[in-house]
Amino acid sequence: MFHGDTAEDMAGKLSLRELKQAATDGEIDTVLVVQTDMQGRLMGKRFQVENFLETAWEETHSCNYLLATDMEMNTVEGYKASSWAAGYGDYVMKPDLDTLRRIPWLEGTAMVICDVLDHHTHEPVPHSPRAVLKKQIARLEAKGMRPMMATELEFFLFRETYEEAHAKGYTDLTPISAYNEDYHIFQTTKEEDVMRAIRNRLQGADIPVENSKGEAEAGQEEINIVYADALTMGDRHVIVKNGCKEIAWSKGRAISFMAKYSHAAAGSSSHVHQSLVDLDGKPLFFDPDAKHGMSALMRHYLAGLLRHSSAITFFLAPNINSYKRFTEGMFAPTKAIWSMDNRTAGYRICAADTKSVRVECRIGGADLNPYLAMAGLIAAGLDGIENERDLEPAFEGDAYGGADIPTVPSTLRDATQALDGSEMLRAAFGDDVIDHYVHAARWEQTAFDRTVTDWEVARGFERS
């Protein structure tokens, strides 16, 4: 499957003409035509390249239940958009040819990401994650602004294969290292068989990689992708997650992007860096004459993030497990406050007094859907801008020990209630979209509430 671990021979991004030539030359025989589900996973079909070039480059179809299932792919009842009563019909998958690229870690394979359209009207399906983000981007562009984002993904790398991990019930797994490897060069050298392949293969798929590093736990890794416009970053994020898993699998290893795979280990985050530029690319968050270089626009945007932090938390922490990550003293924030270069705060200001000044949202876990997370952040920031909201003073010190300051919702149930009651998000996304995701959140909660956990059995089997 692999042909070495260097990127020199990888063309990366493809035009339709280049794909035709690659097919003629026998270089590409398969095209992955994909969309993203509510959980941020790639779903779709593998097309024979000849058929893709003949018809599917314009459109194909998928069952609309793909945007109404849970993690287990159950057909969850109660959705307005998709149901047994409505027959679970089709959506249109419309390839965005700007996303067409080679996938160097899969032999003879290219990929294209699709927008999801209504089968009858050919209008975007409002609750499809990519459409949710594109709507918020359009709101910004109407005001002469564009969002720039970067999502820092953390994950755990294990010595077991996925098949071995499943056979063990995902217990007693062996992290790739025996100790905290944060910034360690020697330990990460021992992991380069996987991590070098990830960096180079992503680079060859038109995903510019900044770096990888060891993170603050045994076996924990981080991969960082170059800052880009929000839609491009969302597309790159979902490919990175899928690619990391596939590359690790090909090397006989397993990777997990769970927010908290073990109560004894630190969680895995997806911090979201964000700023705004004008339509010519000029930074709008920077004002050399302002305190910390933070423009009035940036301060309004940040005030919006803080005001609506609870409401958007579901999009940053979408699963029951997500909330296990919010543990004091493990670098995951528990307080929805802002601070200067302070990793205990929910919102941290980076690169103060420079043109790169930006907000880092530290609340999101590695299990987030990037399109939904970025859409929620943009909507909250836009509310701050439109209403010229005042920014509270920066928090100083250890936010974990801070009293009488806003907290991050500590359970999915609390985050769901905040999402459901958000007038701002209902106005920005539409009632049907919010109701769709509230239903998803409540189903996740219900599924967990009726499940007997290993913790309960170990605690009570003999001693109850």
Residuewise pLDDT in 10s, the chain (464 residues): 333 444 434 459 999 999 999 999 999 999 999 999 999 999 999 999 999 999 999 999 998 999 999 999 998 999 988 878 887 889 999 999 999 999 999 999 999 999 999 999 999 999 999 999 999 999 999 999 999 999 999 999 999 999 999 999 999 999 999 999 999 999 999 999 999 999 999 999 999 999 999 998 999 999 999 999 999 999 999 999 999 999 999 999 999 999 999 998 999 999 999 999 999 999 999 999 999 999 999 999 999 999 999 999 999 999 999 999 988 766 678 888 899 877 778 999 999 999 999 999 999 999 999 999 999 999 999 999 999 999 999 888 777 777 788 888 999 999 999 999 999 999 999 999 999 999 999 999 999 999 999 999 999 999 99
Nearest to 246 by CA among 192, 196, 176, 197: 197
Nearest to 207 by CA among 104, 322, 117: 104
Task: Verify that 151 and 294 share a domain, yes or no.
Answer: yes
Backbone angles phi, psi at 46, to 5 degrees: -100, 110
Task: Verify that 118 and 198 share a domain, yes or no.
Answer: no
Structural domains of the chain, count: 2
Task: Verify that 233 and 89 share a domain, yes or no.
Answer: no
| pLDDT for res 60 | 96
Residue 11: inside a domain? no
Q: Which residues of 437-447 are buried (b: 16+ CB within 10 A; e: fewer)?
A: bbbbbbbbbee
Token pair in block for residue 28: 């590409």
Last residue within a domain, chosen from 123, 145, 168: 123
Task: Verify that 233 and 288 share a domain, yes or no.
Answer: yes
Secondary structure (DSSP) of 185-252: HHHHHTTHHHHHHHHHHHHTTT--EEEEEE-SSBTEEEEEE--EEHHHHHHHHHHHHHHHHHHHHHTT
Residue 117: inside a domain? yes
Residue 8 CB burial class (10 angstroms; 0-12, 13-18, ≥19) = exposed
Last residue within a domain, chosen from 98, 123, 148: 123
Residue 9: inside a domain? no
Residue 67: inside a domain? yes
| pLDDT for res 337 | 87
Task: Verify that 247 and 105 share a domain, yes or no.
Answer: no
Task: Verify that 116 and 165 share a domain, yes or no.
Answer: no
Residue 378: give the domain boundaries: 137-456
Task: Verify that 162 and 234 share a domain, yes or no.
Answer: yes
How many C-beta atoms surround the C-beta of residue 358 within 10 A? 24
pTM of the entire structure?
0.95
Task: Verify that 283 and 316 share a domain, yes or no.
Answer: yes
Residue 8: inside a domain? no
Pairing mode, if any, of strands 338-340 and 347-350? parallel
Last residue within a domain, chosen from 93, 123, 153: 123
Residue 4: inside a domain? no
| pLDDT for res 330 | 67
Task: Verify that 301 and 417 share a domain, yes or no.
Answer: yes
